[in-house]
A and B are shown apart, each in its own frame.
Chain A
Amino acid sequence: MTTPSKIDSNPTVWDSKEMQQRTARRYRQERIFRAAGLGAVAVSALFLVVLLSNIISQGTGGFFQTYIETEIELPVKVLGDPRTMTPEEFANSVRRANMLGLVAKSLEETFPDVTSRNEKRALLKIYSTGVRGQLAQFVTENPDVIGTRQTLWLLASDDIDQVVKGNIDTETDESDRRVSDRELAWLQTLEDAGRVDVKFHTTFLTSGDSRNPEMAGVWGAVVGSALTLFVTLILAFPVGVLSAIYLEEFAPQNRFTDFLEININNLAAVPSIVFGLLGLAVFIGTMHLPRSAPLVGGFTLALMTLPTIIIASRAAIKAVPPSIRDAARGLGASPMQVIFHHVLPLAMPGILTGTIIGMAQALGETAPLLMIGMVAFIVDIPSGITGAATALPVQVYLWADSPERAFAEKTSAAIMVLLFFLIMMNAVAIKLRQKFERKW
């Protein structure tokens, strides 16, 4: 530690000046070191807090959307008459009806001084193009309203929404922002009349992707992720458990099994994008399976998750004490019966915990899915494992790339949905572990 020459001739004299200095220095070093350690932990925790609070503060707005209260005429002439038409004819006539014209008419009443065509068109832009669908749905579901005046909350456009939420700085020069002074004045008029409100927006949770941020939703991506994970689970779980059983219970100690073991450990550390390349070359290039499909995504993620499941399952199987096996063998069970009737049921909680954690990893994985083309812009909710779909993390990636300001908010909201699922999965895993953990 220290060279003897530095020490006082009589090292046990504790009240000598050198000794006291040395002790003080050593204690100071101790405090610094300890503080550095604490600092490191604090910095990591701080990162976590900043990351999460950043996402939550930005993303909460994504679940809400600005609506404008609109008194609107719903004439038979435009929409069709539900009493004389069959429901299908009526639905068709509603679909063809000029909804935006109705909205424009309502605007004329509110803003009688807006007269030029250009201005009227600009005025209509404070509404989302989604009001067409919103109105059509409302009318089809309530055919009685035809021919009456109704007061409805209609979806505002994304730019108006961003102004209302305070995400666009209205103090900057007009040319620097996406909302003109004219539009701001109109918005002000509506706000003064109490006709603007930010409401919880269910569309975000129930619809698919859209080019318009105010109409975009995560449900398509959630379903895509669910289908992908379903394929992954179907494939990776049985294969992973069976191979863990072989390695733990049957495999002889030889070079082949050593090789297997090293192989599995290595696979667990291979970058995920390499699995994407494998999926692209094998499943799409060679087998010609459909691009962008949850089937291929599930295959690829299954190969990636397999090592995690094998390693966790082996640990769980190993934790079952040998006495159980001996007792079963003693009663005449065959080796297979020992495993499938006794060891496996006891190891199952541990295996399931590991599987859920592996699935959570697969849920958050993006790069391999980019490789196999699950980045397409898809509006429809996917209906099967062979159709085109996207996944939740890929949706996050796609929205993060969008230039519209409003998509930043949607991205954070989608991340919140993703994190919600991840937290749920991990909570289930932890509960499972706590409930079934057994000391032998």
Chain B
Amino acid sequence: MTSSAISVIILLLSLAAFAAGRQRSLATVGGRRGDLHSLPRHYGYFAASLVVLPATLILVLWLTFGDFALERMTLNSIPEGAAVTEGIEDHLVLNRIRIAVDQGDRVEKDPTILAAAKFYREAHGEAVWLTFAAALLAGLAGLAYALKVTSAEFRARNKVETFMRVALIACSALAVLTTVGIVASLLFESLRFFQQVPISEFLFGLKWSPQTALRADQVGSSGAFGAVPLFAGTLLISLLAMLVAGPIGLLAAIYLTQYASGRVRAVAKPALEILAGVPTVVYGFFAALTIAPLFREMGLSVGLDIASESALAAGVVMGIMIIPFVSSLSDDAITAVPRSLSDGSLALGATPSETIRKVILPAALPGIVGAFLLAVSRAVGETMIVVMAAGMQPNLTANPFEAVTTVTVQIVALLTGDQEFDSAKTLSAFALGLVLFVVTLFFNVIAIRVVRKYREIYD
């Protein structure tokens, strides 16, 4: 709660600074607004930003690096050669300390760890107050400076606009920062994983069973991290989804753009948009509780054994989910084909369907291919449907009637619930995430390139 208190204090201070800056500017010219370079409120904005910016900077620095620094200090506070920490990796020690910080001596009994926890708690308390004091002082210093430089000639508006410009750039950079964050966090954790499991085993191994022994003396498997069954499962379900979504989506787009009357279009397009707006968890529920049992019964009636968590059910429902995606992107590609082309073909006596198949589709092909690639990328990354409707067994099979598992299912399974952050089991989820990110990125980039490169410019 203290951090929200400090935020409120800084906010109030900035409001006061606004008023003070405004007042000060008017006072320096004796109330004659015309003598000021900028409007009085610009002086106010200037003073307020000089309060908020340094204070926020300090708070952000604390939030980002504070804990890391404290952990280092805590580790250093542990006396050399203490029995519990000797030869044990830092992060394991830190975990114990953190538990001791949260729960006191209920779980943790070791005096060294408890002492370290006490050190951490005290240092943390001091650091919080120090940071807040520093932020407040920085804000006040900014205010003092702003009031000092305020004068009739001071170009407050230009300064404020420069701040604003920097803020705009910073906001745009956040998008890049997100990408960097994704890549960095996935890579960092994956590298730790690949230190424990060789990358070749992960990419080409045929057995997936991510249970590792937690302690050395525990009986249990060492875990197998061959992700091929997961890749195969993902591929199978995505393929099934595309078999449903590809033809239906494309044909729907063709019908809606070429044949449908205005009235049909006015009803069908929103219907497809609703289909696109339904949350994936709803599709997952539908797949697990309605479609999967339905397929199972249909299978039984013709003598087929369809697993109750079959790849088929997940794939078909995922296909339904992707239909609007394919159709709206294909719709755009088809509409972009100039009218003159189809008019020319129709004038030569071709039927509408011949025109569509032999003139419009070839012309729109890059866009359609792009749409399909983006749809595949979505199918690969889709999570909730497969989590709820596909199984957990890593089967290496191409039979859609069997249960398979996918990359996303395993990520969810590995990371749901409280997990140690450093076991190979947890880290493998990040490696899977990295693969997922790279594959979808690949599809997206190819899709964009195909659309850009092969688009014919007619006009």
- Chain A interface (Cβ < 8 Å from any Cβ of B): 1, 26-27, 29-30, 33-34, 36-41, 43-45, 47-48, 51, 54-55, 238-240, 242-243, 245-247, 250-251, 259-260, 262-267, 269-275, 277-278, 280-282, 285-288, 303, 306-307, 310, 334-336, 360, 363-367, 370-371, 373, 375, 393-394, 396-397, 400-401, 408, 411-412, 415, 418-419, 422, 426
> Which residue of the partner chain, among B179, B189, B252, B282, contacts A266 with CB atoms under 8 Å?
B179
Q: Are B277 and A360 in contact (CB under 8 A)?
A: yes
Considering the complex of A and B, which 10 residue pairs feature the smallest CB-CB distances, nearest first? Answer: A271-B381, A37-B255, A364-B279, A281-B185, A40-B251, A246-B168, A33-B353, A367-B383, A243-B172, A243-B171
New A-B contacts (11) at CB < 8 Å, excluding given A30-B354, A55-B286: A29-B354, A40-B248, A266-B179, A269-B377, A286-B67, A287-B67, A303-B178, A306-B174, A371-B415, A397-B384, A400-B388
Q: Are B254 and A37 in contact (CB under 8 A)?
A: yes
Cα–Cα distance between A426 and B274 once the two chains are bound (Å): 10
Residue of A nearest to B384 (CB): A366
Q: Which residues of chain B are near A270, meaning CB under 8 Å?
A: 182, 381, 437, 440-441
Q: Are B168 and A266 in contact (CB under 8 A)?
A: no
Q: Which residues of chain A are near B374, meaning CB under 8 Å?
A: 269
Residue of B nearest to A281 (CB): B185
Given A40-B247, A45-B271, A271-B381, answer yes or no on A400-B252 (Cβ-Cβ < 8 Å): no
> Which residue of the partner chain, among B281, B327, B356, B436, contacts A33 with CB atoms under 8 Å?
B356
Q: Are B285 and A396 in contact (CB under 8 A)?
A: yes
Q: Which residues of chain B are near A275, meaning CB under 8 Å?
A: 182
Cα–Cα distance between A33 and B388 once the two chains are bound (Å): 36
Q: Are A278 and B252 in contact (CB under 8 A)?
A: no
Residue of B nearest to A415 (CB): B282
Cα–Cα distance between A245 and B283 once the two chains are bound (Å): 36
**What is the minimal beta-carbon distance from A315 to any residue of chain B, in angstroms?**
14
* Residues B174-213 near A (CB distance < 8 A): 174-176, 178-179, 181-182, 185-186, 188-189
Cα–Cα distance between A418 and B182 once the two chains are bound (Å): 29
Q: Which residues of chain B are near A287, meaning CB under 8 Å?
A: 63-64, 67
Q: Which residues of chain B are near A265, meaning CB under 8 Å?
A: 444, 448
A-side interface mostly:
helix
Cα–Cα distance between A266 and B440 once the two chains are bound (Å): 9
Q: How many A-B residue pairs have CB under 8 A?
A: 256
> Which residue of the partner chain, among A262, A278, A335, contacts B178 with CB atoms under 8 Å?
A278
Q: Which residues of chain B are near A36, meaning CB under 8 Å?
A: 251
Q: Are A30 and B172 in contact (CB under 8 A)?
A: no
Q: Are A44 and B272 in contact (CB under 8 A)?
A: yes
Q: Are A364 and B280 in contact (CB under 8 A)?
A: yes
Q: Which residues of chain A are near B440, meaning CB under 8 Å?
A: 269-271, 274
**What is the minimal beta-carbon distance from B158 to any residue of chain A, in angstroms?**
8
Cα–Cα distance between A246 and B388 once the two chains are bound (Å): 41
Q: Are A48 and B279 in contact (CB under 8 A)?
A: no
Residue of B nearest to A246 (CB): B168
Q: Are A397 and B281 in contact (CB under 8 A)?
A: yes
Residue B129 interfacial (CB < 8 Å): no
Q: Are A1 and B358 in contact (CB under 8 A)?
A: yes
Q: Are B179 and A41 in contact (CB under 8 A)?
A: no
**Which one of B250, B284, B285 has the greatest number of beta carbons of chain A within 10 Å?**
B285
Residue of A nearest to B245 (CB): A44
* Residues B233-277 near A (CB distance < 8 A): 247-252, 254-256, 258-260, 264, 268, 271-272, 274-275, 277
Q: Are B279 and A273 in contact (CB under 8 A)?
A: no
> Which residue of the partner chain, among B171, B264, B351, contacts A29 with CB atoms under 8 Å?
B351
Q: Are A307 and B259 in contact (CB under 8 A)?
A: no
Residue B5 interfacial (CB < 8 Å): no
| Interface bits B391-419 vs A (CB < 8 Å: 1, else 0) | 00000000000000000100110011110
Cα–Cα distance between A332 and B448 once the two chains are bound (Å): 41
Q: Are A38 and B259 in contact (CB under 8 A)?
A: yes
**What is the minimal beta-carbon distance from B229 to any residue of chain A, in angstroms?**
19
Cα–Cα distance between A33 and B411 once the two chains are bound (Å): 43
Q: Are B444 and A266 in contact (CB under 8 A)?
A: yes
Q: Are A277 and B352 in contact (CB under 8 A)?
A: no
Q: Are B248 and A54 in contact (CB under 8 A)?
A: no
**What is the minimal beta-carbon distance from B100 to any residue of chain A, in angstroms?**
15
Residue of A nearest to B250 (CB): A40
Q: Are A418 and B174 in contact (CB under 8 A)?
A: no
Q: Are A26 and B351 in contact (CB under 8 A)?
A: yes
**What is the minimal beta-carbon distance from B434 to any residue of chain A, in angstroms?**
9
**Which one of B164, B186, B258, B430 has the greatest number of beta carbons of chain A within 10 Å?**
B164
Given A40-B255, A269-B377, answer yes or no on A281-B189 (Cβ-Cβ < 8 Å): yes
**Which one of A40, A48, A408 has the greatest number of beta carbons of chain B within 10 Å?**
A40
Given A26-B351, A266-B444, answer yes or no on A271-B174 (Cβ-Cβ < 8 Å): no
Q: Which residues of chain A are near B275, meaning CB under 8 Å?
A: 44, 47-48, 51
Q: Are A51 and B278 in contact (CB under 8 A)?
A: yes
Q: Which residues of chain B are near A272, meaning CB under 8 Å?
A: 381, 383
**What is the minimal beta-carbon distance from B371 to any residue of chain A, in angstroms?**
12
Cα–Cα distance between A55 and B291 once the two chains are bound (Å): 13
Q: Are B182 and A263 in contact (CB under 8 A)?
A: no
Q: Are A243 and B168 in contact (CB under 8 A)?
A: yes
Q: Are A41 and B255 in contact (CB under 8 A)?
A: yes
Q: Are A40 and B252 in contact (CB under 8 A)?
A: yes
Q: Which residues of chain A are near B274, meaning CB under 8 Å?
A: 48
